Amino acid sequence: MSDHITRLLVIRHGETAWNLESRIQGHTDIPLNEHGRWQAERLALALSDEGLDAIYASDLQRARDTGQAVARATGLELQLDQGLRERNFGRLEGMTQNQVALQWPDEGRRWRERDPTYGPEAGETLQVFYQRCIDTAERLARSHPGQAVALVAHGGVLDCFYRAANHIPLQAPRTWTIGNVSINRLLYSPEGFSLLGWADTRHLDGEAGLDETSDGDAALSPDK
C-alpha cells in the first residue's frame, strides 16, 4: 500500500432492541442485544487476521462494545471518538417513523425527501451531520497513512462514507444496504475516499439480519 493511502474498514454496530422495533436511536445510548453481542464476536473473528493497525469507535455503547470485541481479538486498544456518533435526532429519538409521520407530518416529509437543511428540534441537520462524519473520517485516516484502520460506527455514518466515496449527493435516495456488523472497505488518499467493497456479511454465515433500511423507506437514515 502507498505510504499516502489509508485502508479503512467501516463497520456498523451489532443489533439492538430498537433495531428490531425500528425506533430512531440517534444519540440515545442503547446497548447491544444478545444477538448483537453474538454478531460482534463473529465480526471480531473475521477481523482477527486482517492486519489492522488501529481501531476507533463511536463512544455510544452499541458501537463501543462492538469495537471492543474486535479490539480483544486483535490485541489493539480501542480508541473512542464522538465524531463517529450517529446523527442527533433530537426529539424524534425513541419514535418509529410512522409515529413521526403522524405527529409531525411536515418534518416527516422533509426527512423522507432528505432535505439537507432539515434538522429535528434539538438535533442535527443532514448537512451538518454529513460534514461531521467526513471530517472525522479524514482526520482519523490522515493519522494513519499507509495503515489499515477500522472505524466502528452507525448506519447513518456509513451512509455518509458511501456517498463521499461514490460522489452521491445527500438528496439522492439510498439504494445500497447497511447491515449490522457488515464490513465495508474504503481507501483514503489526499484526493479523497474511494470504494473497495461494500456490505460483506459472510462472517455471519448467511444470517438474514436487519438492513438499516429494512422498514422499506430508503430515503430515511436513522440508526435503527
Q: Is residue 221, in this structure, part of any structural domain at all?
A: no
Q: Is residue 69, in this structure, part of any structural domain at all?
A: yes
pLDDT band at residue 206, thresholds of 50, 70 and 90? low
E-strand stretches of 42-102: 54-57, 78-80
Q: What is the pTM of this model?
A: 0.92
Query: Quick one: angle between helices 155-166 and 126-142, nearest 10?
Result: 80
Residue 84 has a pLDDT of 98
pLDDT band at residue 205, thresholds of 50, 70 and 90? confident
Query: Residue 30 has which C-alpha cell?
Result: 442503547
pLDDT band at residue 213, thresholds of 50, 70 and 90? very low
Least confident piece of the model among 8-17, 59-68, 146-155, 209-218: 209-218
Residue 217 has a pLDDT of 32
Spatial CB neighbours of 179, under 8 Å, sequence gap ≥ 6: 12, 199, 201, 209, 210, 211, 212
Q: Is residue 14, in this structure, part of any structural domain at all?
A: yes
Q: Using alpha carbons only, what angle is made at residue 180 by residues 86 and 113, rounded to the nearest 5 degrees?
A: 50
How much is the mean pLDDT over the chain?
Answer: 92
In terms of Cα–Cα distance, which of 19, 14, 56, 43 is closest to 150?
56
Q: Is residue 170, in this structure, part of any structural domain at all?
A: yes
pLDDT above 70 coverage of the chain, percent: 91
**Residues labelled catalytic:** 13, 86
Q: Is residue 132, in this structure, part of any structural domain at all?
A: yes
Q: Supply the range of the domain harboring residue 61.
A: 6-204
Condensed to tens digits (0 to 9), the pLDDT of residues 108-160 reads 999 999 999 999 999 999 999 999 999 999 999 999 999 999 999 999 999 99
In terms of Cα–Cα distance, which of 100, 91, 96, 86 is closest to 29?
86
Q: Is residue 163, in this structure, part of any structural domain at all?
A: yes
pLDDT band at residue 223, thresholds of 50, 70 and 90? low
Residue 218 has a pLDDT of 33
pLDDT at 219 over 90: no
- Report the CATH number that the domain containing residue 144 is assigned in CATH: 3.40.50.1240
- Domains held by the chain: number: 1
pLDDT band at residue 3, thresholds of 50, 70 and 90? confident
pLDDT at 215 over 50: no
Q: Is residue 215, in this structure, part of any structural domain at all?
A: no
CA distance 89 to 77: 30
CA distance 62 to 65: 6
CB contact burial 114-131 (16+ within 10 A = b; e otherwise)? bbbebbbeebbbbeebbe
Q: Is residue 185, in this structure, part of any structural domain at all?
A: yes
